[in-house]
């Protein structure tokens, strides 16, 4: 699969467009239908965070790239907003009572659970979040996590 790029405004109204872009590329790459929902939810979490927090005082944009690499479907989400590594947040204490839990971070925890691998880096003025989902020949991505 060729490297594909989508450039859009960082606006919640664009969520359906990025979901369609990702689903089309993932399906073409051979990602199992059972993994498409995981991809959609992880991507939504990243995109909504960018829309809400990356550009507090100006409009912004998001670039999405998708490709396959070493048996994985890879999607990279880039923005030029404020530096922020949500993947570095500690896992929340999900055993604590709701009233005792810290606010925030649950979405990033969820992202780590949904994908095979996720990473963040700051490159120049850009935040880059890369999500990977395994494309298993038997059609069972993330088999180890599902077991």
Q: CATH code at 132?
A: 3.30.565.10
Over residues 25-45, mean pLDDT: 94
The pLDDT value given to residue 146: 44
| Mean pLDDT over each residue of the chain, to the nearest integer | 85
Q: Where are the extended beta strands (E) located within 1-147?
A: 4-9, 61-69, 72-79, 117-123, 126-134
| Structural domain containing residue 48 | 4-146
Phi-psi region of 38 (alpha: psi -120 to 50; beta: other; left: phi over 0): alpha
Q: Record the pTM.
A: 0.83
CB atoms within 10 A of CB 34: 12
Residue 92 CA, chain-centre distance (Å), reads: 19
Q: Six-digit token pair at 146? A: 């599902």
**Distance, CA of 128 to CA of 101 (rounded, Å):** 28
Q: Does the structure show a pLDDT above 50 at 65?
A: yes
Lowest mean pLDDT among 2-11, 19-28, 137-146: 137-146
Region of residue 71 (phi > 0: left; psi between -120 and 50: alpha; otherwise: beta): left
How many structural domains compose the chain? Answer: 1
In this structure, what token pair is assigned to residue 70? 């070493």
Q: How far apart are CA 104 and CA 45, in angstroms?
A: 12
- The mean per-residue pLDDT over the stretch 49-67 comes to 95
Once rounded to an integer, what is the mean pLDDT over residues 35-61? Answer: 95
């Amino acid at each position: 699969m060729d490297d594909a790029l989508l450039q859009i405004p960082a606006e919640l109204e664009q969520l359906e467009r990025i979901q369609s872009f990702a689903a089309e590329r993932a399906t073409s790459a051979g990602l199992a239908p059972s993994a498409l929902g995981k991809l959609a939810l992880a991507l939504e979490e990243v995109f909504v965070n960018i829309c809400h927090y990356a550009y507090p005082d100006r409009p912004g944009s998001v670039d999405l790239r998708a490709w396959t690499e070493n048996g994985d479907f890879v999607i990279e989400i880039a923005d030029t907003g404020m530096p922020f590594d949500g993947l570095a947040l500690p896992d929340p204490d999900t055993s604590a009572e709701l009233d005792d839990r810290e606010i925030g971070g649950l979405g990033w925890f969820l992202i780590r659970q949904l994908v095979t691998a996720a990473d963040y880096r700051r490159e120049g003025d850009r935040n880059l979040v890369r999500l990977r989902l395994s494309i298993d020949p038997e059609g069972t991505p993330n088999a180890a996590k599902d077991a």
